[in-house]
Amino acid sequence: MAELARLEAPRSEPSLVEALGFAPDSSLLIVTSDELGVTHSGNSGVYESLRRGRAGSAGLVVPGPWSRAAAASYRGEDIGVHLTLNAEYDLYRWGPITYCPSLLDGDGGFPRTLADLWDHADTDEVRRECRAQIERAIYWGFDVSHLSAHLGALDFRPEFFDVALELAVEFNLPLRLPSADTEARVGFPFRALAAAEGIVSPDFLVRVPRTQGTRRALDRLLSDPPAGVTEVVLRPAIDTDELRAVAPDWSARVDDHALALDATYLRDLVDRAGVKLVGYRALKDLQHSRRPGA
């Protein structure tokens, strides 16, 4: 009987790294370059990080002032839609691509802060705007690899997270999510809800505050890398007058660009830690194999 019980015991689901074809104790790293489409400097920095550097994926801000130029320069790279409902700069503004009055501030652009967005945004308008951003990226020719949320606007409120999850299911795309250790603080099990719908997400997310350096965060991470898939988010841009005029954190973005292109630093760091670099396309392929025809 004991032998029969052992044989009938349910098998646990394979971890994400196992499902991707790696050993259970493997450490995989996705280096993502976000905010493609916001500035010309950022477009140059993001595409260089993908084509000449070690970044594995990127995120497109469809409402960004330079998004159409980013689409014109696209060559099939691993790029997702960075769903955007905020325009955080005081003097550099952008707004919805749909008619969504609840997503506007007094300047006629997106709200500058998450608190303002969450206080006034209508959920139906959020859904309509985010769906339109994905559809426009597809119309422009992007082979969209994943979804993420600018400033985490869709991550931390249940009604906004529902929109992100609904769209990830509708378009059958992986979804960037915060690490599981933030669920208690947020107050709802967003990772379990996504997994129940068959949506794939990296196990860990490293989103470096704009006042801190990404190099230091990478050094700490890769000194003892966890088993699983970890995503590190960069915001690379080349040093120009435009960037300095727009972004108070321009120097951190320039350093992210140098970091992404520093092949020796990243190669040595990754090799020393035994980490393998992957992109979101691998997660998308896995999700499609689990949800064929969705």
Higher pLDDT pick, 270 / 167: 167
40-98 pLDDT per residue, tens: 999 999 999 999 999 999 999 999 999 999 999 999 999 999 999 999 999 999 999 99
Cβ count near 281 (within 10 Å):
18
- Please state the rounded mean pLDDT for residues 2-20: 63
Residue 5: pLDDT band (50, 70, 90) is very low
Residue 258: pLDDT band (50, 70, 90) is very high
Q: What is the model's pLDDT at position 134?
A: 98
User: Lowest-confidence range among 129-138, 202-211, 250-259?
Assistant: 202-211
Residue 238: pLDDT band (50, 70, 90) is very high
- Please state the rounded mean pLDDT for residues 265-283: 89
User: How far is 199 from 251, CA to CA, in rounded Å?
Assistant: 35
Residue 266: pLDDT band (50, 70, 90) is confident
Q: Find the angle CA(185)-CA(211)-CA(223) to the nearest 5 degrees.
A: 75
Residue 3: pLDDT band (50, 70, 90) is very low
Residue 13: pLDDT band (50, 70, 90) is confident
Residue 268: pLDDT band (50, 70, 90) is confident
- Please state the rounded mean pLDDT for residues 161-177: 98
Specify whether the CB–CB gap between 142 and 73 falls below 8 A: no
- CB contact set of 120 (below 8 Å; sequence gap of 6+): 102, 111
User: How far is 29 from 25, CA to CA, in rounded Å?
Assistant: 13
- Please state the rounded mean pLDDT for residues 197-220: 85
User: How far is 280 from 56, CA to CA, in rounded Å?
Assistant: 8
Residue 210: pLDDT band (50, 70, 90) is low
Higher pLDDT pick, 262 / 133: 133
Cα dist from 238 to 4, 55, 84, 149, 207, whole Å: 63, 15, 22, 23, 20
